[in-house]
Structures are given as structure tokens and as C-alpha cells.
Structure 1
């Protein structure tokens, strides 16, 4: 998959999944930019000023592990701000630029398996990921006539540096994590990266509005 001459914007690209995607895009020839998302207006200004974007990966996410009854407003607000509103905000700016240039483009939202699989202590996060999947579908429907593809990648538990270290310290959790997947291994960063690059590439030119699960459903 080749991305020479393309400019890619990756949110939350400093570590984990976002960093892996940024590195892979650069290795495939793209020029990659990163932004922070703390402020709505500041983010819009920054994204407008970074210039033309051909590829957008909305990867930034925020998860608070709390029971439904223990979740406070501030926690829910922050999860919605980062997992939903920031995607809406950045995508709106980038899509308008793509439309004005008439070049089309590709957007991938990093969602998760919790958009369809309920899990304890993840109500706020699951709500956000379910909403993100529907946002992806509506964006695909509205932006498709402008030659903009929009899809999501929905991984399960991913073996990042942090999570792998945690698993190594807990053999029981590692064993149960592997046992949950019929292929018998923890999902790796490269598994998620490869799925993302496929949806960003010309290889998926007739795929839009879909959620690609890197997991068993």
C-alpha cells in the first residue's frame, strides 16, 4: 500500500495505536502530522492551518474504568469531548477542506469492539464508541458524493507496550485474554495498523461506512 505524496493527520499519534499508524504511514510514503484536542476552537484553528490533508485518522481516545453508578459528570463529559466531539470537530474541518479542493480523501475513525459488546466498568466509553460507529456511517453517507470515504476500525484489547507489560506480570489475565480469541493470540499493533492502512488505501476504494472489527464478533 503506497501513500507517496499524501499528507496524513493522526490524532493521538504520540503513543500506542496512533504512533504505530503514524509510523506505518510515514514508511509508506505519507507525510504525517499530529494534533492535540483539548480545546474545540484551538483545535479548529490548528487543523485549518496545517494545510491540505488527504488522510485523516481519528485515533485519540479517553477511557475511564468506572461502574455506571459511580461515573460522575466530569468523567462522562471528558469521554464525550475526546471520543465523540473531537472526532466531529476535526473531521468537519478536514472534510470541508477536501470538498473545497475537490480531491476527495479518506477518513478512518478508531473505534472499538465495545461499540457492540457491553462490558462492565465501561459504560461511558461504550456509549462513545457506539456513537462513533454511527457517526462514521452518517459521515460516509453525506461525504461519499464528494469522493470521501469514511470507515472505522474496531479493535479488541490491543497489545501495546503498556498493556503487554501488564499482561506479562499477570499470567492469568494473559491466558484468559488469549483464550477469548479463536485465533489464540493477543491483537497486536500491526494487526490494527494493517487494517487501518487497508481502509485508507486505494485497495478499499469501494468500501465506506463500514466498521472493520479486529476481533471475533
Structure 2
């Protein structure tokens, strides 16, 4: 299916690893022009070698002022993928202020800031656009030791809806994808214990975790005009986890 992304300028946060990296690679293959944002320079360097022509930006999105400096003059952006996130897992009774603040800074506040930068540019140019926020199945289902992480993603789902409501009149669509555990290197490390994995897999009707391409395909669809009548949605990519 032709997605019509060639020539579009797309900004992807959390581009260095996992879903973000897979998204950059897939967008590059379509002929899109990609601005890849990561806090790790080495990841950006290797990504540039894999995808010549992408524009790397190294910044910690948890730092508001640094993000404004890095992206405030990024130039015209047509599409945005808010993928950057941290998962600082702690039992509820052991949640720290530091974990709470860092999680909300990156997982929610940065989404607001980067989306404001991109949306203001789209509105000033008078052109339509699309934003995809990478959320989680944990936004709507409780997961042990994920109290802060699940809270950030629940807030992200509602932010997606409000963004869609307010930006819709400007022809800017906003949607979220909500994956289950994804078999990135981080996902494999976190869920490699068979007993731990079984507790989650038993709640997934399809009986398996997601691969990066499952999430990337959903992101590309929501960025494209093929989803031109879809906004304010949360698209589950979780094998039926929410059905249980």
C-alpha cells in the first residue's frame, strides 16, 4: 500500500534505539526526510551511517531549555512521532521523587513541548500534519511495579485526545499507538525471565509479544493520508491484551 510519505519531513524522538530507530529506518526507506532526535550521540552516528541523509539532533528531551535550543529552529516539519520515553520501574511503596519527575519530564512534558514546536510551525505555514504519540498497553491496564510508567502513559492517552480536539480545526491529526511488550533489546532484557514473561503472555490472546515492525507499521499508517479520517484514537498493538 502506497503511503505517500516520500518527501515529507518527519521528526522522530527517541530515534536511537528500538521502536524509534525502526521508525526512522522505515521512513527513510519510503523516501521521507527524517529528523532523528536522541540523547545518545553514538546511536545517532550509527543511524546516520545506516540511513544517509537523515538529520541527527542530540538532546535530552527531559531538559526543557536544551530542547528549545535544539528544536526551536528545526525548520518545517510535516509529521511528528513522539516516541522518546523512560521506564523507571519501582514498586508503588518505593516510588521516588526522582523517578516520578524524570518519567513525567520525558514521557509527557517533552511530548507537549515538541508537539507545540511542530504544531505551531504547521499552523504558521497553513498546512495539514499528523502527530503520533507512542503510548503503551499499560495506559489502560495495571502492571506490577509500573505505577509511574503506567500513569505517564494514561496521561499521554488523554493528552492525545485533547491535542486532537484542539488541533483538528488546523487540519492536524493526533493519534497514539499502544503496544504490548516489544522485542527490542531492552524488551528482551526486561522480559527474558520465562516466569515473568509467562505472567504477561497468559494475558495476551495471541500468546506472543510484539516485534518492532508491528508497531512501526501502525505508526506509518497513522502518519499517512491513508488514515486521513482518524484522529484522537489509541490504536492497540497488543495481541488482544485489552480484550481480557
Same fold (TM over 0.5): yes
Q: 1:5-41 CA distances to partner (integer Å, 9 max, x unpaired)? A: 1011011100011101111111111111122313212
The alpha carbon displacement at 1:59 in A equals 0.3
TM-score, L = length of structure 2: 0.84
Provide the rounded CA distance (Å) in 2 between the counterparts of 1:98 and 1:127: 30
Structure 2: 5+ residue stretches without partners = 38-58
The alpha carbon displacement at 1:49 in A equals 1.6
- SS of residue paired to 1:121: coil
- SS of residue paired to 1:95: helix
The alpha carbon displacement at 1:89 in A equals 0.5
Judge which range, 151-160 or 173-182, deviates more.
173-182
Alignment check: 8 A CA contact 1:13 1:34 kept:
yes
Q: Which residue of 73, 93, 109 maps to 2:97? A: 73
Structure 1: 5+ residue stretches without partners = none
Alignment check: 8 A CA contact 1:47 1:94 kept:
no
Q: Which residue of 219, 224, 229 maps to 1:196? A: 219
Q: Where does 1:61-140 land on structure 2 (aligned, <5 Å)? A: 61-140=85-164
Provide the rounded CA distance (Å) in 1 between the counterparts of 2:62 and 2:93: 27
The alpha carbon displacement at 1:165 in A equals 5.5
The alpha carbon displacement at 1:4 in A equals 0.9
Provide the rounded CA distance (Å) in 2 between the counterparts of 1:74 and 1:170: 27
Q: Give the number of the structure with larger relative contact order, counting CA–CA contacts within 8 Å between residues 6 or more apart.
A: 1
Provide the rounded CA distance (Å) in 2 between the counterparts of 1:24 and 1:170: 30
Q: Superposition RMSD on alpha carbons, in Å?
A: 1.5
Closer, same or farther in 2 for the Cα pair 1:133/1:166, shift >3 Å? closer
Number of corresponding residues:
216
The alpha carbon displacement at 1:166 in A equals 5.8
Structure 1 counterpart of 2:210: 187
TM-score, L = length of structure 1: 0.94
Provide the rounded CA distance (Å) in 1 between the counterparts of 2:142 and 2:198: 21
The alpha carbon displacement at 1:177 in A equals 4.3
Alignment check: 8 A CA contact 1:57 1:108 kept:
yes
Alignment check: 8 A CA contact 1:2 1:29 kept:
no
